[in-house]
Amino acid sequence: MNANDLAALAQRTADDVAPWQEPIELAMREFGIDSTARQAAFLAQIVHESDGLGQLVENLNYSAQRLTVVWPHHFYLPPDEPGNRHDANAYAHHPEALANLIYAGRLGNGHEDSGDGWNFRGRGLVQLTGRRLYTEASEALGIDLVNQPDLLLEPLQAARAAGWYWSHIEGNALADEGTQDAFDRLTVAINGELIGQPHRVALWRHAESLLRAAG
């Protein structure tokens, strides 16, 4: 896929996506993403997850009201009864404190005071999240994402990490099925839910069309 096609898919200018073209091609080659079906599904997912190759860090800057919607079991707003929840006002627009709270004790992270939630928040083209995945990706890719997590903000390593995670979730096998159900399962494996699925499907079909036209 040339820069103009990638720009059309990402809804960016060719100059915007030019730094991504070679890293994505290299990552697809490294991880066997080597057919129209595989490439179309992969490109659709990474373009959606990164907001058109433009957003490589998880946005955790939430209003108090939004916190109660996204994490209702974590946050409340007075005069509601707190139960075991936290006052959302204390975490609104405080992304580091929020990350350390919501990601504490899971995804391989330590307790809230460890800072793991913030250090290993979502980064890269597929928003790799949590100490466990950063560690596994480091070992697989031969780079130190644990001590240098911002390597996932560089196009080459962001693309390679996306390719590694694709392999990790057996993305090629799902893409080879070529069905809506398989694509849905890909989304769940990447995102946890079918969030943004209409847009992902539109990108998938667009990518297929561009790849076929390119021969």
Residue-level pLDDT at 211: 96
Rounded Cα distance between 213 and 40, Å, is: 12
Q: Which domain holds residue 13?
A: 3-56+154-214
Residue-level pLDDT at 140: 97
Across 13-113, where does the E strand assignment appear?
A: 75-76, 86-87
97, 75: one domain: yes
Q: Is residue 198 over pLDDT 90? A: yes
Q: Mean pLDDT in the chain?
A: 96
Average pLDDT for 114-132? 97
Q: Is residue 86 over pLDDT 90? A: yes
In a domain, 136, yes or no: no
In a domain, 198, yes or no: yes
51, 68: one domain: no
Q: How many domains does the chain contain in total?
A: 2
In a domain, 13, yes or no: yes
In a domain, 149, yes or no: no
Rounded Cα distance between 4 and 209, Å, is: 14
- The partner residues of 75 in beta bridges, in order of sequence, read 86
pLDDT tens-place string over residues 19-39: 999 999 999 999 999 999 999
Instruction: Give residue 1's pLDDT band: very low, low, confident or very high (50, 70, 90).
Output: confident
160, 210: one domain: yes
Name, in order, each residue with C-beta under 8 angstroms of 43's C-beta and a sequence gap of 6 or more: 1, 6, 9, 24, 203, 207
Residue-level pLDDT at 23: 98
Residue-level pLDDT at 215: 74
Rounded Cα distance between 92 and 62, Å, is: 6
Full-model pTM: 0.93
Rounded Cα distance between 96 and 3, Å, is: 35
30, 77: one domain: no
42, 78: one domain: no
In a domain, 147, yes or no: no
Residue-level pLDDT at 19: 96
pLDDT tens-place string over residues 124-158: 999 999 999 999 999 999 999 999 999 999 999 99
Residue-level pLDDT at 90: 97
Instruction: Give residue 187's pLDDT band: very low, low, confident or very high (50, 70, 90).
Output: very high
